[in-house]
Amino acid sequence: MLLPWHNESSKSGRPRVAIVYDTYQREAPQRLPLLSAADPVRVLAWRDGNAVSAAQFLAHVRAVAARLPMAAAAVNLCEDRYSFMVAFCAIVLRGQTNLLPSSRAPQAVDEVMAAHPGCYALGEQALDPAPSGYRQLPPLEVTPSLELDAAWPMIPADQVVAIGYTSGSTGTPSANEKTWRSFHASNTGNLVMLQAVVGAHFSVVTTVPPQHMYGMEMSVLLPLLGEVGVHAGRPFFPADVAAALAEMPAPRVLVTTPVHLRALVESGIELPSITAMVSATAPLPIELAQAAERCFGAPLLEVFGSTETCVFASRRPTVDEDWLLYDGVTLHPQPDGTAVEAPQLEGSVTLADIVSLSEGGRRFRLRGRHADMLEIAGKRASLGDLSRRLLAIPGVQDGVVFQLDGGDALGVHRIAALAVAPGLDEHVILDALRRAIDPLFLPRPLRLVAALPRNETGKLPRAALLELLQHHD
């Protein structure tokens, strides 16, 4: 088994976490705590080198909530993670919904605000230009006025606390509602997974923005609901990551993406001791996973989920190719994808991923995505595998293979590729691909570019790829 996912069993022989999941489903509590434990002195975050207690955090939340306007929803644009958490909880405390656009680009924000008339935007920075109705957070003092005996907030379990938007990597971003009950349930699975590896209490540093659902789960919900301490920043460069880790107490967990992980490995930087690394948002090449574990001396865990479902499985790719489902999760393979049932979902959600099950349905292996599957002249391939083979060519630093819009007379869509490969030309790359794949699936056109249009989490929105290719041509 990859990881000891099941905590200590109860007298009935059933894992305790399974009983917790059953409680969510059977009892359906009407109200759930905003914070996991009414412990005013526990450290919830580290900000500018200072520990912030739960009591200080709640004082900030109440102060901000009192200043928010009447509305149904607010776009949370905070970049500082602590400010985001304060804004998130203040919005929830007012009975409003956090709107989480796929990016903080003005167009993405405008589209989300247009879909929610009457909403406003909230952030800690002075933006110019600013979205319509933008409000700036007041300064969050290090030592706010504390009310240690005040009642700790309880939130209606069925309150929609967030609407997350997909990245648009496969098309138009879509909206996904999250209730406070669903966030409590999904956090239980993540917490059990991490505690099995690093212990009951740990610190988190992450390179992922909190607006992304992966960032929300691993750096907002964990400290709120899991008694975990989180670093307030979002370090980008390797030196920034090392500095952030050094500010946190051990054991430390680094939450990141394959793009950031590759930069860390290639930088040769020495990081403070970490107990585990977590990766998501894009497929993780096994070679990169092995290199990261060698460089940083910690297990690398990869989590599987989506904006629609939240995380529901994990694996350690250097040990096992198969994914292990969280307790309470069931997969149902379909001809065009896989239906997911999980404690955090009201009903089943069908993803485009094609899987095969093993070990009585507790493990699965990815076979590709329905939208990525290609069939030309009776032969099949996947865009994911073609991209992997492109990246395996020596000298190719980044690259992607994708289908173009519109088909030919027979309905066949052309395949294109973009590659970052200083020192190589297109013919050299195509010759290398020709030796690795069927000529039917050679990308034409293949264009060399300075950089791929990756977003904050390393994903490649389809519209940005098509725009870059058109601009290049």
pLDDT digits (tens, 9 = 90+) for 358-387: 999 999 998 876 566 666 655 667 787 788
| Residue with the larger pLDDT of the pair 462 and 37 | 462
What is the mean pLDDT of the segment spanning 231-253? 95
User: What burial letters (b/e) apply to 284-293, b meaning 16+ CB within 10 Å?
Assistant: bbeebbebbb
Q: What was the pLDDT predicted at 3?
A: 31
Pairing type for strands 337-341 and 73-76 reads unpaired
What is the mean pLDDT of the segment spanning 207-221? 94
pLDDT in tens, 413-425: 688 999 999 989 9
Model confidence band, residue 227 (pLDDT cutoffs 50, 70, 90): confident
Model confidence band, residue 5 (pLDDT cutoffs 50, 70, 90): very low
Q: What was the pLDDT predicted at 379?
A: 61
Does 147 have pLDDT greater than 70?
Answer: no
Model confidence band, residue 323 (pLDDT cutoffs 50, 70, 90): very high
Q: What was the pLDDT predicted at 152?
A: 86
Q: What was the pLDDT predicted at 198?
A: 95
Long-range contacts of 266-275, Cβ-Cβ distance < 8 Å, separation of 24 or more: 267/238, 269/238, 269/239, 269/241, 269/242, 270/242, 271/241, 271/242, 271/245, 271/296, 272/242, 272/245, 272/246, 273/297, 273/298, 274/245, 274/298, 275/197, 275/198, 275/199, 275/202, 275/250, 275/251
What is the mean pLDDT of the segment spanning 155-165? 96
Does 326 have pLDDT greater than 90?
Answer: yes
pLDDT in tens, 292-322: 999 999 999 999 999 999 999 999 999 999 9
pLDDT in tens, 168-201: 555 567 889 999 999 999 999 999 999 999 999 9
Q: What was the pLDDT predicted at 182?
A: 97
Does 428 have pLDDT greater than 60?
Answer: yes
H/E element, 238:
helix 238-246
pTM score of the predicted model: 0.80
Span of 218-227, 249-258, 347-356, 403-412 with lowest mean pLDDT: 403-412
- All domains of the chain, ordered by start, with CATH? 16-367 (3.40.50.12780), 377-472 (3.30.300.30)
Cis status, amide bond into 251, omega within 30 of 0: yes
Q: Where are the alpha helices (DSSP H) in 94-179?
A: 106-115
Does 259 have pLDDT greater than 90?
Answer: no
pLDDT in tens, 448-457: 999 998 877 7
Q: Where are the alpha helices (DSSP H) in 424-461?
A: 426-434
Model confidence band, residue 16 (pLDDT cutoffs 50, 70, 90): very low
Model confidence band, residue 348 (pLDDT cutoffs 50, 70, 90): very high
Q: What was the pLDDT predicted at 108?
A: 83
Does 14 have pLDDT greater than 90?
Answer: no
Q: What was the pLDDT predicted at 456?
A: 75
pLDDT in tens, 270-284: 999 999 999 998 888
Angle 219-175-68 (CA atoms, 0-180°, nearest 5)?
65
Does 458 have pLDDT greater than 60?
Answer: yes
